[in-house]
Chains A and B, each alone.
Chain A
Amino acid sequence: MTTDNRDDNAPAEWDSGLPKGRRIGGIVWSLLFLLVPVLGVATFIVAPWFDHWLPKDISVHGRDIDGLFYFILALTGVVFVATEMLLFWFMWKYDAAAVRGPAKYIHGSHTLEVVWTIIPAATMLFLGIYQMNTWADVKMRRPRIAPSAEVVARQFEWRIRYPGRDGTLGTPDDLFVVNDLHVPLDEDFLVQLKSMDVLHSFFLPNLRVKHDAVPGMKQPVWFRATEAGTYDIVCAEVCGWGHYKMKGRVTVESRADFEEWLAGVEARQEATQRGPEDAPPAAED
């Protein structure tokens, strides 16, 4: 027997005794795992081309939120690609069918443990502190204005109340509409959010606003729209069988258009309330 033959046939002391499998197996499996970062990144690159991406942002806060989203996407993207590539590379290289020596007998590395604890810790701490200001802007630093409108969620509609001419909610000149929120352009808009029955969530995708409407609570929600148009209001908290159709629209328009629309609402409401003979049934039912 030649030395070469013995290498292949006689089990070395480090042979596991398990079938090693063929090299092609290791290649196929590691390439399959390589697909994860390749297709993963490709998905995120292709999706925006087909408009499968963040809906158009028309708010001031949205810019910060989207910026943070992209920042985290870049950060996690780098870590994702790096770790998945390592996994692929180790699978490729340390296939038992390809390795010609024993496995490394090593129980760990104190230095590495310290490094890969401190780096993520510092990164996450930075991320945590970095975003606080945006969070405070969106949820804590309420504009010092009277509520611009009250939104009351109920199964399965958004009841909207404007303060009317006196600028105060809860007075006789309040104006009522359903599912049709109008917002003046480039102005802080403060919503007083309530729920009549169960939980709902007031979700304006284009304004990057989401807040749960909780029965028994009166909550402030604010935003500033920067682009005219009509956009969706979505209920984002399951509220019963009709949850999917609890749809509203938010119209962003110039101050003048907004005033005009409000005047129209007032005129219709006045006409309804002052003409008992031809009054349509009350909106309550």
Chain B
Amino acid sequence: MSTVTPADAPVRTGPPAHDAHHGEGTSLSTFLSTYVFSKDHKVIGLQFLFSTLVWFLIGGLLALAVRWQVAWPWSDVPVLGKLFAQQGGQMAPEFYTMLFTMHATVMIFLVIIPILAGAFGNFLIPLMIGADDMAFPTLNMLSYWFMWPAFICFGASFFVEGGAAAGGWTSYPPLSTNPQSAPGSGMGQTLWLLGLTMVGVSSMLGSVNYMTTIILMRAPGMTMFRLPMTIWAMFITAILQAFALPVLTAAGFMQLMDRSLGTGFFTPEGLVVNNSINGAGGGQPLLWQHLFWFYSHPAVYIMILPAMGMVSDILTTFARKPLFGYRPMVYSVAGIAGLGFIVWGHHMFVSGMNPALGITFMVATMMIALPSAVKTFNWLGTIWGGRIHFTAAMLFALSFVSMFIIGGLSGIFMAATPVDIFIHDTYFIVAHFHYVLFAGTAMGVWAGIYYWFPKMFGRTMNEFWGKVHFFLTFIFLNGTFFTMHILGAVGFPRRLADAYHYETFHHLQPLNAFMTWCAIGMVASQIIFAVNFFWSMFYGPVAGRNPWNANTLEWTAPSPPGHGNFDFQPVVYRGPYEFSVPGCEKDHLMQTDPPHPAEVAAAAAAHAHA
């Protein structure tokens, strides 16, 4: 069934040496070094995966609480209302501002970024390039453990006086720098900044590690242009992280100093907020926005490029077809990343930034639609003429393409500066980024989980329940998020605890109630996923090395791979997408399969044709 080790590949000398490292010591210390303070990239990847999935649940519940207030303002919150009863189960407005701030913070900094780079990046990079581990295993371990101070900071901030940060996930000063300006701008904001710094340290440690590993530790024969798209995306994401993060970290410290040491980077001279003066003044609130978005716009791509890479790989496997336009795909990822550094100002069209500068950012933003379009067309080209197998992973990958089209196109509205004047900070932008980040990235993450689960745990997830999970999630997510475009067209502003007292918006409550019911359904559907995930971990059908008959290197390793990953030295002979080579006796040629006469003939024919 599954592909076995290529017979002529050189056998790696020495045993996989799993126990050699941990031979002495008590069983407790063995347990700790194997599963807790492990330096094995696979264990670290799974640690990231489990932690981020827990935060995904927390972030989802925060979202439900936000949706509750938007649909039925000031009505008693069921179940959760008792937990943080403030006004007899009713939500206080400052509590609402905290909810949406922390929903975004948790989802962005504790879920999407770490699940893509931390979980999938860690697990997949060495396996897919044929390395036995990361270049810097200790650094890798630290990148996970630096997440814990962040978990603690963000988690604890809910319980400090004034509650967690409540100035929006963008933390615009002076609301965020002046502790008197809002209840959440006290200790909660300080913890938010510290947590953010820790997430940054973690990302940076991961980033240098990924870059080094991908550049230096590829298996023999694995040239850069034989790398799977997942690895290209992870590589370029790591570069983005390395160059953008220092700016955010510096900005975070500047805000921390404004708050605690009395500096005035972001507050103008003599600013009085809520009868209190904070800091020396002489600064500029817009400076924060520039610094913040200089990181956070590239971060938007950090949050989608790896998912794009994974989806590209999954589409080829289940369409049994080479990726359409491999090099254009690589160049468009690079193009998105490059342009990603010069478009941050499109978040600031109406911020008071010089409107002439807005034009520059508008043109750059329009141009970033290009590589996105190229990617979409190439995905369509990939499934064209294929033999599509509708597995759960494939369905999630296809829905990524379908939903990314919506998220990509709705971005054009905001990029058009005059239109942005009206829809800026309305539900239109909320619809846009949820289509990119939830309907896009989260669907890509699920595709990745269903696809690589056999490699992670040696067992396959249940396909039937996987499809049920997909069906419900797909329906409910569109019910929740597509309707947000309509709210946005009315101008319905985001972040309002209650907008129905405005004449313009008072008739929108029924639509909001519908969306909240969909959101509840969407979160409830994840119970199916959670049960399937944990049940399959222990009782799922045992998977061989290569349950999907895919081509990339990780499928030549045992499932799950032992310490050191490969029980032979992988040697790479071709690119990652050689499916359905004419004249070949099987429909896929793995990267490690020895050169095949059929592909030589096919290459010669293609060359003659061109």
Q: Does A65 contact B (CB under 8 A)?
A: yes
| Interchain CA distance A116-B376 in the complex, whole Å | 10
Q: Which of B363, B388, B490 contacts A55 (CB 8 A)?
A: B490
B239 in the interface (beta carbon within 8 A): no
B508 proximal to A (CB < 8 A) = yes
**B273–A197 contact, CB under 8 A?**
yes
> B493 — nearest CB in chain A belongs to which residue?
A236
A264 is an interface residue with CB less than 8 A from chain B: no
Distance A10 CA – B412 CA, assembled complex (angstroms) = 51
Contact A105 B580 (CB under 8 A): yes
Q: Are B359 and A135 in contact (CB under 8 A)?
A: yes
Known contacts A16-B588, A76-B410, A214-B352: does B418 contact A131 (CB below 8 Å)?
Answer: yes
- Are B356's CB and A72's CB within 8 A? no
Contact A247 B416, beta carbon cutoff 8 Å: no
CA distance A134 to B417 in the complex (A): 9
Among listed A31-39, A179-187, A255-263, interface-contacting one: A31-39
Q: In the complex where A94-B319, A241-B182, A243-B495 touch, is A19 in contact with B389 (Cβ < 8 A)?
A: yes
Query: Which residue of A75, A87, A94 is within 8 Å of B385 (Cβ)?
Result: A94
Question: Inside 8 A of B320's CB, which chain A residues have their CB?
Answer: 14, 16, 96, 102-103
Query: Interface stretch among A121-129, A144-152, A165-173, A272-280?
Result: A121-129
Q: Is A20 an interface residue (CB 8 A)?
A: yes
List A86-137 residues whose CB lies under 8 Å from chain B: 86-87, 90-91, 94-96, 99, 102-109, 112-113, 116-117, 120-121, 124-125, 127-128, 131-132, 134-136
The 5 tightest CB contacts between A and B, nearest first, are A216-B268, A104-B385, A241-B94, A108-B325, A139-B355
**A16 touching B274, Cβ below 8 Å:** no
Is the pair B178, A198 in contact by a Cβ cutoff of 8 Å?
yes
Whether the pair B587, A14 counts as a contact (CB closer than 8 A) is yes
Write the A215-230 contact mask toward B (1 if CB under 8 angstroms, else 0). 1110100000000000
Which B residues touch A178, using CB under 8 A? Answer: none
Q: Min CB distance, B345 to chain A, in Å? A: 13
List B contacts of A217 (CB < 8 A): 268, 286, 352
Contact status B390-A95, CB under 8 Å: yes
Output the residue of B1, B97, B602 with the most chain A CB within 10 A. Answer: B97
Q: Count contacts on B: residues with CB < 8 A to the other chain.
A: 125
Report the separation of the CA atoms of residues A205 and B488 in the bound assembly, to the nearest whole angstrom: 11
Number of cross-chain contacts by CB at 8 Å = 355
Bound form: Cα–Cα A140–B577 in Å: 52
Q: Are A244 and B93 in contact (CB under 8 A)?
A: yes
**Residues A241 and B166 in contact in the complex (CB < 8 Å), given A79-B409, A135-B359, A214-B352:** yes
Q: Min CB distance, B276 to chain A, in Å? A: 10
> Nearest Cβ in chain B — how far from A139, in angstroms?
4
A102 engages B580 (CB within 8 Å): yes
Contact-residue size bin, chain A (C-beta under 8 Å from the other chain)? 35 or more
- Residue numbers in B under 8 Å from A136 (CB-CB): 355
Query: Bound state CA distance, A73 and B398, in angstroms?
Result: 24
**Residue interface mask B409-430, A partner, CB < 8 A = 1:** 1101100111101101110000
Residue of B nearest to A209 (CB): B421
A208 contact set on B, CB distance < 8 A: 421-422
Q: How far is the CA of A96 from the CA of B391 in the complex (A)?
A: 11
- Sample of 23 A–B contacts (CB below 8 Å): A17-B1, A18-B318, A55-B491, A65-B421, A83-B405, A94-B387, A94-B388, A95-B390, A96-B389, A104-B321, A105-B321, A107-B324, A107-B577, A108-B324, A109-B325, A113-B325, A124-B367, A125-B363, A135-B358, A139-B421, A205-B491, A214-B286, A217-B286
B167 adjacent to chain A (CB < 8 Å):
yes
Contact B174 A87 (CB under 8 A): no
The answer to whether B355 and A117 touch across the interface, beta carbons within 8 angstroms, is no
Tell me the bound Cα distance from A153 to B168 in angstroms.
19
In the assembled complex, which residues on chain A have CB atoms less than 8 Å from the CB atom of B1?
A: 17
CB-CB < 8 A to B96: which residues of A? 244
Q: How far is the CA of A209 from the CA of B423 in the complex (A)?
A: 10
Which residues from B are CB-within-8-Å of A125? Answer: 363, 366
Task: Kindly state whether residue B507 has any CB partner on chain A within 8 Å.
Answer: yes
A181 CA to B401 CA in the complex, in Å? 47
Does A190 touch B at the CB level, under 8 Å? no
Least Cβ distance of B593 to chain A in Å? 15
Instruction: Point out the residue from A61, A120, A197, A199 that lies within 8 Å of B172, measured CB to CB.
Output: A199
**Does A52 count as interface, using CB distance less than 8 angstroms?**
yes
Q: Across the two chains, which residue of chain A brings its CB closest to B281?
A: A216
Chain A residues with CB under 8 A of B405 = 79-80, 83-84, 87
New contact pairs (4) apart from A17-B549, A139-B417, A216-B267, CB-CB < 8 Å: A69-B422, A76-B413, A245-B93, A245-B498
